Amino acid sequence: MPITSYDDMKEKKGEILRSLINLAKVVDSLNDMGLAINGEALLDLKNKLDNDNFKVLVIGEFKNGKSTFINSLMGEKVLPAYSTPCTAVINEVIYGKEKRATLYFKNPLPKEMSSDIQPSAMRHIKNHENHEIPPIMVDVDDLVDYVAIPDPTKDQADSIKELPYSKVVLEYPIELCHDGIEIIDSPGLNESGTRTKVTEEYLNHADAIVFVFRCPKIAGASEMDYITDQIHARGHNDIFFVCNAINQVSEDEQDRLIKFGNKKLMPLTTLGEQGIFYVNALGALNAKKNKDNEALVHTGIPEFENALSDYLRNNKGKAKLLQIITPGKAFIENLRTQYIKSYIASLNQSVEELENRIRNAMPQLNSAKERKEIVAGKIDLAMQNLQNQIRVLMDAQFGAIIGKIPDFVDDMDLDNHMTANPFKQKSKREALEKEVIAKMEQFVQKEMGTWIKTDLQETLDVFIDKLENDLGTDIDVFYNKLDEFRCEVSGVKTLRNISGFERVSGTILGTIVGGPMYGALGASLGLGEMAKRSAVTLGASFTAGAVLAFTPLGAAAITTAATAAILGAGALQLVTGGSSLTKKYKNQLKNSFIDKLKESREEACKNYAANIANDVNEKFDLVNKALDNEIEMENSKIAALKNDRDKNSDKREKMLVLLQQCEHELDLIEGTLTNISNSIA
């Protein structure tokens, strides 16, 4: 049965929360007996359950009506929306009883800051100079002074970059958000990678992506690229498409547009036609404000709201609950097999016998420890190799792209041209510079993007498979030794038919802090698959930055170098006509761009490789942690058993009873969790 309502979801969350609390009590009782069980994972799960809102990220090109669309969902003009490029800062709209806006600052602050920053914000920054700037509350009615692009006549990229704010969290007493939905408004996407960086960080954490077009301009080439290169690459294949301002298309043309839109967009979302909406956001906002239900029905917004709500509850809500239930159950299983059962068995032995057993079994534990060191060493070495391999590969790719630039620039069609008219030369030249550089940057990004999805992904896949295989053998040996040790100490033989790797995963889920890195994704995909995915999506967002590391300061250098070269040649003085001048200038820009790329090549490849290797390492480091954890667990058991040495048989009896009670309690909690997961399956 699906999750029927947000209340139903809340109720299930409550039940899970109670289970976690009961589980924590069992851990406390066991720790009171002297076992050192790390309950941090439970706290982690509880925090996740408490704070896990549904995050709906709204993105799209400048001025498509994103802010207006969000306002229309909320039924109030909460976010500033104007006809000039507007939203400059991420806005997170969440539920709050009182209207409240909190402004967060970038860390570090931009080197050069806009001169249009609010004096109060500027004073706040000055007061905290050289430190991380704490957030401040701002008046909701003054929001526009902070979140909107200060001067729409200026270059938007620069304006956004020069702002000291990282985001605004807007609390608002809105029904929609009361259900745990958080809506994120983002600055419009634009052709230059640097402008969209702010938004991309949010892509990784979104539960639903709403991509806004503005009719009749649907699914332009750059938007399509963005969807495949950035959104799909992060594993979001179920995108909601909202084609806004449908009312601005004449009625007799709407059908044609809808057909066209569906055909273009359907292949881009697994939600199919159910994920594509044609709406009039402004109309819906007004209808809601005027409580005019009749008008609202025709805006397309109610259909969208229902679809989003269903999707969030049944798709994401289910996943979110399972992200808590699955690790919770793994935790229980771990407690039961690794602690309680073997502890009971040990208590049933005499003290001398037990000490004897531990002594005899020590070599097994020691060889497990040695094997663990081998695994750690192999991971270390593998990461160095991976880093080198990626660096070399990327360097070759970099070279290949540089080689392709001249042809690309020769074939480039331009909207801007040089002029021989001395009065217009400067402005024309600047427009041309912008266009040529932006196009070259896009070309490099696109080529790199393709490389990531093909060559880099394949290399990583092969590498990680091989590493998993190699480590798998050692991890099996590790667990065999550990099992021998446990069996020898407790006299209980636990037969297991699962591989060492699966047991590592169980341990990660069960007793060590899984964190955001190892949620349901890790549980269902396994460590290696997760490492493969995450490195490549990381790659997708990181290449632009790495390859074009020289922008934006470098962009100035490119144009300066090109201008100098062309002035040196006296070309601007020659009245040779616009087109030949354009060509000359274009070539100069190309040469400077290539020079810059060559300059940054080594550094960029080095950094990029290090980043990817680090990411993979983070995942494999969990193996290390898991094995460490297993060993620590045995050490704590030995210590606890030794402690019990002097206890009389009466006390032992009591402990046995307590342990059995714990076991019973675990059965009950597990039952509850299983029921919940069955009910949402």
Ligand X SMILES: Nc1nc2c(ncn2[C@@H]2O[C@H](COP(=O)(O)OP(=O)(O)OP(=O)(O)O)[C@@H](O)[C@H]2O)c(=O)[nH]1
Closest-CB residue for ligand X? 188
* Pick 248 or 290: Cβ nearer ligand X: 248
Contact indicator for 582, 418 with CB cutoff of 8 Å: yes
Piece of 81-89, 276-284, 554-562, 642-650 that binds Mg ion (CB under 5 A): 81-89
Q: What is the nearest approach in angstroms of Mg ion to the Cβ of residue 199?
A: 11
Q: Which residues, 6+ apart, have CB-to-CB distance to 577 below 8 Å?
A: 420
Q: Which stretch binds ligand X (CB under 6 A): 77-85, 198-206, 472-480, 653-661?
A: 77-85
- Residue 559 as a binder of Mg ion (CB under 5 A): the answer is no
CB of 86 to ligand X, least distance (A): 4
- The residue (of 83 and 678) whose beta carbon lies closer to ligand X is 83
Query: What is the C-alpha to C-alpha distance for residues 157 and 88, in angstroms, rounded to an integer?
Result: 9
In the beta sheet, which residues pair with residue 209?
57
* Residue 149 binds to Mg ion (criterion: CB under 5 A): no
* 82/65 Cα distance (integer angstroms): 9
The window from 75-83, 170-178, 390-398, 603-611 that contacts ligand X (CB under 6 A) reads: 75-83
Contact between 87 and ligand X by CB under 6 A: the answer reads yes
* Shortest reach from residue 132's CB to ligand X, in Å: 27
| Binding residue (CB under 6 A) for ligand X from 26, 41, 49, 86 | 86
Burial of residue 53, with CB atoms counted within 10 A of its CB: 0-12 exposed, 13-18 middle, 19 or more buried: middle
8 Å CB contact between 195 and 189 = yes
Q: Is 93 in the site for Mg ion (CB under 5 A)?
A: no
Strands (E), 196-263: 208-214, 240-244
Please identify which residue in 62, 95, 408, 443 interacts with ligand X, judged by CB under 6 A. 62
156-195 residues in contact with ligand X (CB under 6 A) are: 188
Cα dist. 3→261, 307, 321, 578 in Å? Answer: 31, 14, 11, 65
62 interface partner picked from ligand X, Mg ion, none, CB below 5 to 8 A per type: ligand X
In 4-100, which residue ranges form alpha helices assigned H by DSSP? 6-32, 40-51, 66-74
Residue 99 host element (H or E): none
Burial of 656 (0-12, 13-18, 19+ CB in 10 A): middle
Q: Does 156 bind Mg ion (CB under 5 A)?
A: no
Q: Does 71 bind Mg ion (CB under 5 A)?
A: no
Q: Say if residues 225 and 231 touch (Cβ distance below 8 Å).
A: no
Range in contact with ligand X (rule: CB under 6 A) among 61-69, 347-355, 527-535, 571-579: 61-69
Label residue 411 exposed, middle or buried (CB < 10 Å: 0-12, 13-18, 19+). exposed
Per partner kind, with CB cut-offs from 5 to 8 A, the member of Mg ion, ligand X, none near residue 63 is ligand X
Q: Dig out the tokens for 474 from the structure.
A: 């050692």
With CB cut-offs between 5 and 8 Å by kind, which of ligand X, Mg ion, none does residue 282 bind? ligand X
Q: Which is nearer to Mg ion, 280 or 505 (CB)?
A: 280
- Near ligand X by CB under 6 A: residue from 82, 95, 408, 443: 82
For Mg ion, the closer of residues 104 and 608 by Cβ is: 104
Contact 540/234 with Cβ under 8 angstroms?
yes
331 within 8 A of 510, measured Cβ to Cβ: yes
Containing H/E element for 257? helix 251-265
- Residue 281 contacts which entry, ligand X, Mg ion, none (Cβ below 5-8 A, type-dependent): ligand X
Token pair for 110: 């931009």
Query: For 419-431, b where at least 16 C-beta lie within 10 A, e where not — what string?
Result: bbeeeeeeebbeb
Q: Which amino acid is at 535?
A: A
Work out what residue 180 binds among Mg ion, ligand X, none; the CB cut-off runs from 5 to 8 Å by kind.
none
Distance CA(511)–CA(42), nearest Å, equals 8
Touching ligand X, residues 229-288 (CB under 6 A): 244-245, 247-248, 280-282
Measured from the CB atom, is 215 or 467 closer to ligand X? 215
Single out the residue of 64, 71, 72, 87 in contact with Mg ion (rule: CB under 5 A): 87
User: Is residue 199 near Mg ion by the rule CB under 5 A?
Assistant: no
* Closest distance to Mg ion from the beta carbon of 95 (Å): 21
**CA gap 198, 196 in Å, rounded:** 6
Residue 606 site contact among ligand X, Mg ion, none (CB < 5 to 8 Å, cut-off depends on kind):
none
Where along the sequence are the contacts to Mg ion (CB under 5 A)? 66-67, 86-87
Where along the sequence are the contacts to ligand X (CB under 6 A)? 62-68, 81-83, 85-87, 188, 244-245, 247-248, 280-282
